[in-house]
Structure 1
């Protein structure tokens, strides 16, 4: 069956961006603007636009790494669903972050959107952002979506610098601990914490040793945290584990060989789009998932492991 006629021609056949290997970027975490065609934020695989239903009306949501890729799509869908959105980004992605705010201001003009540039590698950097969140939200955060991450493919452990190992852990897991610990006191009963992990801890990606280790840590941390707080505080903690998704981080950190086969080993036979992950973030943030906690939602195109 061929794709619907209203999917952009660049994505045919099969909703897959062409020539991914030709779009490698030298900068991390990568910029969304130069990607052609751009990753999809709201267009679904059946060719229709995402239809909001007010699932998050009046909620305050914090999204880290919200400028591009999965984070961008999450911010947009949260806003379309009625949530006010606090968007964290790093300095290199200011242009992408501003474009997210512009999109939300146009398509969801009744929600509050705040951009925050910050380095979350240190506890001090996280505490600085928490203060900004407190002022923006009036001290109440209903949704925390930890999406920020870094990676750099290195195929042999002997070539993996210790500095890179520490950097990846600082960004990908230590920051989650600092931020969540400080945000929990601001979360009311029924709050939702959603941590973005990966398929990689379950398959053991040989070229992403450090990244894979941090994503496995996120899974264990999230499950333990849910069991610690859900009964007493009513705050659910879940994990999203994406498979191969077309984002700027991929273009900026993977080798040419990896990009040439990116996503083709999945049962669906293609890489996924950010919107296909963001819809799960919406469900996990909403009351519709109220009996779902300490779980990993695997969105990987049917990739076996």
Structure 2
């Protein structure tokens, strides 16, 4: 019997192709440890499993993961499998390929013909016969180049039934146009948050015009990226947080969600208290004035 309390539904829902998800999802990267990609302190296994189960109870039906989300003793995909299989029918699990890591943790980037192996690695770890959504994650060094060979290889795997929907990640507007000429794209997953550039905003708006989901990552962490949010957040963010009795992370998430109905959030955490705060951010409504203050260029301390 379901024990969902659906706190995420206050933020509404959107579509990933023919799949409907609540706009507040869950990012799995931080389940594996305090330093997700090295030999830092691992998360308590049972706590990570309980956080995943609690996220689903709170209405999360969109989880973002990757086979390369692992630390010395933890694998995000395997934690998801352990916590949630057999999976709820409405749960959408999105993963990403092109980056990879060997068993020692060293990074590598796949050639087009190696993408099938990366897809099958996710299938094995998650215990699935197909993947709901696979994002092609583009290397920073390739943002001025064509992605047609890699995206075409994923399109073939979609046609073979291994993948249901395709997305692209860390891309430019030109690469979005290129991908859509090859196969349907259901989402763009790019870094985005307070302080985003006009170019970033233009891509977000273009996705809205096309009816595509825009899925920001590092919406809370910002420039801190994998290391997490900086402790010296701007006074503008702090002032809005004080006015609402909210945390800085909640303000950043609320701002993100109010960028458009097609914008999804995938905050990640291994902490149950932070999970509850993230889910509650969907009910936080910022005024037009507050949105404008936070959207303006953010001052930096000297």
Report the TM-score when normalising by structure 2. 0.42
Higher RCO (C-alpha under 8 Å, 6+ residues apart): 1
